[in-house]
């Protein structure tokens, strides 16, 4: 799979920056707005934004069941910030975890942190948090990959990868690379 076809959910939020990073890493990108856009995808990114608005858009466009089917078929999905929230038990229910919205403070609270991210080589990962969630609870099948002040901010469950921060907003593409490894790992499977 030289140039995998990766969808970016483009209902709302920061999808364009993800598209740029993915293209830079050699993927083909398709913006996803309706169920037909999911056809033939090798992977999908759910961006940051506003999880309430994104969830409404998913309902409005009839995307919930097709997204569950996509994940059920083993297609890798990367959820970032609001995208992590949408993947949790209380939203699409694709990942066995519960996200706490705006967990780092009630007001707009944005910060950067250097994360030890399990399995990422090359030293700490600089991560941008914007009104980010953290992961309150996670089931036994969920591997927690990074934390801030004792709160989990990255997780993987099978082919689903979720981070509470914005990996598309800096020059470090290692989270997208890790996601594309999942995507490429399925080639021919
Ligand atoms: N606070 C937003 C929410 O709850 C997430 C913020 C983000 O995606 N940067 O949906």
**81 an active-site residue?**
yes
**Domain edges within the chain:** 5-187
pLDDT value at 107 more than 70: no
What ligand 1 atom has the least distance to the C-alpha of 52? 10
pLDDT value at 189 more than 50: no
Task: Establish whether residue 71 lines the binding site of ligand 1, counting it when its CB lies within 6 angstroms of any ligand atom.
Answer: no
Return the minimum-mean-pLDDT range out of 83-92, 104-113, 114-123.
104-113
- Domain 5-187 in CATH 3.40.50.880? The answer is yes
Task: Establish whether residue 162 lines the binding site of ligand 1, counting it when its CB lies within 6 angstroms of any ligand atom.
Answer: no
- Give per-residue pLDDT as tens, 25-79: 999 999 999 999 999 999 999 999 999 999 999 999 999 999 999 999 999 999 9
Q: Give the DSSP letter string of the chain.
A: --S-EEEEE-SSSSHHHHHHHHHHTT-EEEEE-SGGGGTT-SEEEE--S-HHHHHHHHHHTT-HHHHHHHHHTT--EEEETHHHHHHSTTTT--SSEEEETTTT-SS--EEEEEE--TT--SSPEEEEEES--EEEEE-TTPEEEEEETTEEEEEEETTEEEESS-GGGSS--HHHHHHHHHHHHTTT-
Task: Establish whether residue 100 lines the binding site of ligand 1, counting it when its CB lies within 6 angstroms of any ligand atom.
Answer: no
Q: pLDDT-based confidence at 142, cuts 50/70/90?
A: very high
């Amino acid at each position: 799979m030289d140039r995998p076809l990766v969808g970016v959910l483009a209902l709302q939020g920061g999808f364009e920056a993800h598209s740029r990073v993915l293209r830079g890493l050699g993927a083909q990108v398709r913006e996803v707005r309706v169920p037909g856009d999911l056809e033939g995808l090798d992977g999908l990114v759910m961006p940051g934004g506003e999880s309430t608005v994104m969830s409404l858009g998913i309902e409005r466009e009839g995307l919930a069941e097709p997204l569950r089917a996509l994940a059920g078929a083993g297609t890798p999905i990367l959820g970032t910030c609001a995208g992590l929230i949408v993947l949790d038990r209380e939203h699409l229910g694709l990942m066995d975890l519960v996200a706490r919205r705006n967990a780092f403070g009630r007001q707009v609270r944005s910060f950067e942190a250097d994360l030890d991210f399990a399995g990422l080589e090359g030293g700490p990962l600089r991560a941008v948090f914007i009104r980010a969630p953290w992961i309150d609870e996670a089931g036994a099948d969920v591997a927690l990959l990074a934390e801030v002040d004792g709160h989990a901010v990255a997780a993987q469950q099978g082919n689903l990868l979720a981070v509470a921060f914005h990996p598309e907003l800096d020059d470090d593409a290692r989270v997208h690379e890790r996601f594309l490894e999942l995507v490429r790992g399925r080639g021919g499977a």
